[in-house]
Structure 1
Amino acid sequence: MSGLAKTIFRLPSLMGLTNGMRSTMGKREFTRTLWHMCKRPEDRLGVVGITNPSMACKCGCGGRHVHTKGERELVEFLTEEIVAERKAQKIKTIPTEVEGFKVKLNGAEVELTKQTDKEKIVISFNVNHTVDADDDAEIDPSAEKGEFAEMKSRPQFEVDIVKGDTTVSFTCSYLQGQAQEGEYDDVFGIDEMTIFKGEWNDKVYAVAGDVLDGYLYDLLMNLLEEKGISNDFAEKLSDLSTAYEHSSYVGLLENLSKFTTGK
């Protein structure tokens, strides 16, 4: 079942709260402090002054000087932020294929599809509210104070294995923390599993992964691995999601800048 058709209840997490912390805190504090130091008395009225106007207005108003002080500050900050975020992008171009799965992008939705003679496998997820600091990233002792660990996107994702008119569907999510001794080192786990004919609807029975028989759970994880959804694939899926989420964030900043300048 697709991510759009199937309703998934998700618990709130710190991911949403950390999603906005992309620049270092030191940079944000310095930027705000710098603006307060540069204030002119007439700016406190809330409108940009027109003394000694320049036709090359940095906010993009074309020399009309009709923007408020808040808009000017926002646009100048966005200009610097966009440059910084583009510089931080590790993957500049989103791949069109991952491990034989064709990638399709639609807003915040991502879909990967692999078609064979016997079956079709569809993996779908949404990049919204999926970013958190990479807990596994090594901390560089030489890094400047205030720097954050790398931001990683680890979305909950659907895996649909379709044969004819029947679909076996898994809802999966990334596991947090290090595996304890004697435990499997799985990167992801099964949250829910169901099987249905035709289109999914909310009358279809589904079972939670944590109540499945342990041996059955292992067999289902083996099945997913045979279909190409392995630990290695899950890591690459996270890399894809991270790159696309970051690209979407930069696009949001650019659209906000255009909206503010009236372009």
Structure 2
Amino acid sequence: MNSLRTATLRFANLATSATGALGKRDFTRSLWHMTKKPAAGCNDHVTVLNVHKPSINCTCGCNIHTKCERELVEFLTEEIVAERKVQKGKTVPSTLDGFSVKLNGADVELTKQTDKEKVVISFNVNHSVDSEEEPEINPNADKPDLGEMRSKPQFEVDIIKGSSTLSFTCSFLQGEAQEGEYNDVFSIDEMAIYDGEWNDKVYAVAGDVLDGYLYDLLVNLLEEKGISQDFAEKLSDLATAHEHTSYIALLEKLSKFTTGAK
């Protein structure tokens, strides 16, 4: 299942620094922003923004923004710059190990076509990011370490031959493997096979009830098609890059929405 980014972590991401590897977001401002009293005229609840008196000190000259809106835009301006520095110009590649990459909003699709079959990998980066470590948040700390933020979305693998499709639903495994366990990056959640288009009537079997040997053979089959454990790591890198780019775009849209810019 997709990991949910907690409200605390997402709030923390709105105050991140420009240091660290791709996807790692530390605070640019300390957590005292979470506990300090709001400025005069700025209520905690967004729903009351429309009753605030316009600020006469609005720097953009429009003279219609509230104090809260102006402070939000000022913060977003700094935050967008910081996030772009963390991103360091990294973009989603157009191909990945023989798969062509197509982006459509939060959706990502990778396709590889041969004479005999087509392999399609698809996923959505929404709600796919979580910290690799549980952070210890200290309100008195200047820059709490939130750990590395990576996107690990649930993904679908469709192996298409003619009108028939062998479909797998896969998820990234959380945590490190214990002694004696396989060091797998992902697991098979579900498998189905069907003709034509998928519908709710198609029978699917959960991966955890499959015969163990059959499960291993299916994992080997995926690896033969290019979906190995190493490839899954690269898939997570791609998803992380796209999620981060989408996150920056969201901040930019929020800033424009607040200022009323087109």
Task: Answer yes or no: is the 8 Å Cα contact 1:159–1:169 preserved in 2.
Answer: yes
Q: CA RMSD in A?
A: 2.7
**1:43–1:234 Cα change, 3 Å:** closer
Alpha-carbon offset, residue 71 of structure 1: 0.8
Residues 234, 27 of structure 1: alpha-carbon distance in 2 compared, 3 angstrom cutoff: same
Partner residue, 2:169 = 171
Normalization by structure 1: what TM-score?
0.81
**Secondary structure at the residue paired with 2:31?**
helix
Give 1:25 deviation, angstroms: 5.1
Deviations 1:134-154 (A, max 9, x none): 249xxxxxx974122110000
Alignment check: 8 A CA contact 1:43 1:49 kept: no
Q: Structure 2: state its 5+ residue gaps.
A: 17-25, 44-50, 135-140
Residues 50-98 of structure 1: CA deviation (Å, up to 9, x unaligned): 3xx6xxx54x4xx131111111111111111111111111552221111
Amino acid at match of 2:63: H
Separation in 2, partners of 1:253, 1:21 = 14
Aligned amino acid, residue 85 of structure 1: E
1:72 match = 70
8 Å Cα contact 1:16-1:131 kept in structure 2 = no
Q: Aligned residue for 1:15?
A: 5
Moved over 4 A (4+): 30-36, 41-45
Q: How far apart, CA to CA, are the structure 2 residues paired with 1:26 and 1:78? A: 12
Shift in Å, 1:49: 4.1
Deviations 1:85-118 (A, max 9, x none): 1111155222111111111000110000000011
Compute the displacement of 1:48 (Å). Answer: 4.6
TM alignment of 1:112-151, pairs within 5 A: 112-135=110-133, 145-151=143-149
Deviations 1:202-230 (A, max 9, x none): 00000000000000000000000011101
- How many Å apart are 1:171 and its aligned residue? 0.2
| Residue of structure 2 equivalent to 1:7 | none
- Superposed CA deviations along residues 27-48 of structure 1, whole A, max 9, x for unmatched, are 1535578996xx6x78899435
Match of 2:223 in 1: 225
Q: Name the larger-Rg structure.
A: 1
What is the number of residues matched between the two proteins?
A: 237
Q: Does 1:162 align with 2:164?
A: no
User: C-alpha displacement at 1:14, in angstroms?
Assistant: 4.5
Is the 2:172–2:185 contact (alpha carbons within 8 Å) kept by the matching residues of 1? Answer: yes
2:197 corresponds, among 196, 199, 208, to 199
Task: After superposing the two structures, state which structure 1 stretch, 190-199 or 92-101, moved more.
Answer: 92-101
Identity of aligned residues (%): 65
Alignment of 1:78-89 (within 5 A): 78-89=76-87
Supply the distance in 2 between the matched residues of 1:168 and 1:240 (Cα, whole angstroms). Answer: 24
**Are residues 161 and 68 of structure 1, via their aligned partners in 2, closer, same or farther at CA, if it must alter by over 3 Å?**
same
TM-score, length-scaled by structure 2: 0.82
Asked whether the equivalents of residues 15 and 132 of structure 1 are also in contact (C-alpha less than 8 Å), the reply is yes
Q: Distance in 1 between matches of 2:54 and 2:36?
A: 17
Distance 1:46 1:173, change over 3 A: same
Q: Does 1:188 align with 2:186?
A: yes
> Once the 2 structures are TM-superposed, how far is the Cα of residue 181 of structure 1 from its aligned partner?
2.2
Give yes or no for contact 1:35–1:73 (8 Å, CA) kept in 2: no
User: 2:259 maps to what in 1?
Assistant: 261
1:164 Cα offset (Å): 0.5
Residue equivalent to 1:249? 247
2:131 and 2:146 in contact (8 A); partners too? yes
